[in-house]
Structure 1
Amino acid sequence: MSGDDGEGDGADGSGDAADERLDLSLDEAAGVADLFGGLTRTELTEALQELAFRRGVEPPPEERIDQVVRAYALVEYPRDDEGDTPDAEPLLVPGPSAFPTLPEGAADLPHILDIESRAVDRERLGRAVEERFRGEVARAVADEDEVLVGRLLDVSYDLETWGPVELGDLRERLDAVRE
């Protein structure tokens, strides 16, 4: 996640551990959220800060969470039921392109953080992700963005096996852009 080569980039040329960032793959970020059943963005940030502290490195930048969400490795689960308020921060849960993997030291997080394990309604989650996906397809088709179209085609197959959705009509729209 840092893009550092370990050479150090400080003005004095030092490359000590404090200059390094926690480097997690998309699947490892999803694994941290999966450990709890889902985490809010605030809780995931706290968990990543804890992992970074334990490793003696800096936490990843906030943008890393956005990258993981854009890649469909984490997806938002709206929390406006089961006693939550309608404006409750959504949970980030492993998405269709993730193969959740626990990074080193993550197994201790439930003992360190005061966060209860959560369950999500898979059908409701599938509908929320399908809605997001439909919006991204509409933008990709309107912009004729072939790179995004290709990425969304790949995600569409993952999404159908992951959630209770049918995306054949959207794949046809995406394929039409590629022709």
Structure 2
Amino acid sequence: MAARDDLAGVVDLFDWLTRAELSRALSELAFKQRAEADADAIAAAIDVAVAEYALVPAPPAALSGAGSDADVDAGVDAADVADPAAGIDRDDVALAVGPAAFPSLPAGAEDLPHILDVPERDVDRSALSAAVLDRLSADAVAAINESDAERLADLADVTYDIEAWAPVDAAEIRERIVAELG
């Protein structure tokens, strides 16, 4: 299965994709490479990319393009879309390139815009970065509550990544993590 930065590269071609669209794109790539597409492996690779902040769930307020307004008009809360556990179909969660990604294109990916029927899209980086900062804070609190030092160390790295990725200040989160690891 594609590495997290390859997944980010595929998403970057379109600005954002739903999990279902990304899964389809990866299946198309596997077909082009004459490989077998394993739906479970694709889902697991996406989960890893999201957990590692290479891909991030995007709230409706950060999305533009066909289909993005439907979620907002339906009264879906941005936090719900960013949290599949809140009852939104997991495949409908929009994903954008996150702060820990170094997007790269897997072989054949340059053809995906011609293969997939995905309308032109855009991501509001300000709204996306605010949602990612909120998620980072919540993830840090959860890791602190679980005394998960390994996850805290990973999240500390993400606090630097997010500051390089967007004009946000993650110092307070980082200081709390460092104090906990101390």
TM-score by length of 2: 0.81
Paired AA for residue 41 in structure 1:
R
Q: Quick one: distance in 1 between partners of 2:24 and 2:30?
A: 10
Quick one: which of 93, 97, 114 aligns to 1:94? 97
Does 2:8 align with 1:30? yes
Q: Quick one: distance in 1 between partners of 2:17 and 2:156?
A: 27
Paired AA for residue 70 in structure 2:
D
Does 2:104 align with 1:118? no
Does 2:88 align with 1:85? no
Paired AA for residue 104 in structure 2:
T
Quick one: which of 127, 149, 156 aligns to 1:153? 156
The answer on whether the counterparts of 1:75 and 1:92 sit within 8 Å (CA) in structure 2 is yes
Percent identical across equivalent pairs?
43
Match of 1:40 in 2: 18
Question: Which digits, 9 at most, give the CA deviation of each residue in 1:50-80, with x for residues without a partner?
Answer: 0011111122521111111101110111125
Pairwise CA distance, 1:161:
1.3
Question: Which digits, 9 at most, give the CA deviation of each residue in 1:142-166, with x for residues without a partner?
Answer: 2221101100000100011112321
Does 2:144 align with 1:141? yes
Paired AA for residue 25 in structure 1:
A
Question: Which digits, 9 at most, give the CA deviation of each residue in 1:33-58, with x for residues without a partner?
Answer: 00011110010000001001111112
**More deviation, 151-160/161-170:** 161-170
Q: Quick one: distance in 1 between partners of 2:37 and 2:49?
A: 15
Question: Which digits, 9 at most, give the CA deviation of each residue in 1:77-130, with x for residues without a partner?
Answer: 112576332347332111001011111000111111110231111000001111
Quick one: which of 69, 81, 84 aligns to 2:50? 69
3-state SS of paired residue (1:100): coil
Q: Quick one: distance in 2 between partners of 1:79 and 1:59?
A: 29
Q: Quick one: distance in 2 between partners of 1:96 and 1:53?
A: 29
Paired AA for residue 178 in structure 1:
L
Q: Quick one: distance in 1 between partners of 2:98 and 2:22?
A: 15
The answer on whether the counterparts of 2:4 and 2:46 sit within 8 Å (CA) in structure 1 is no
Question: Relative CO higher for 1 or 2, CA cutoff 8 Å, sep ≥ 6?
Answer: 2
The answer on whether the counterparts of 1:79 and 1:90 sit within 8 Å (CA) in structure 2 is no
Match of 1:15 in 2: none
Paired AA for residue 96 in structure 1:
P
Q: Quick one: distance in 1 between partners of 2:8 and 2:37?
A: 16
Query: Unpaired runs of 5+ in structure 2?
Result: 82-91
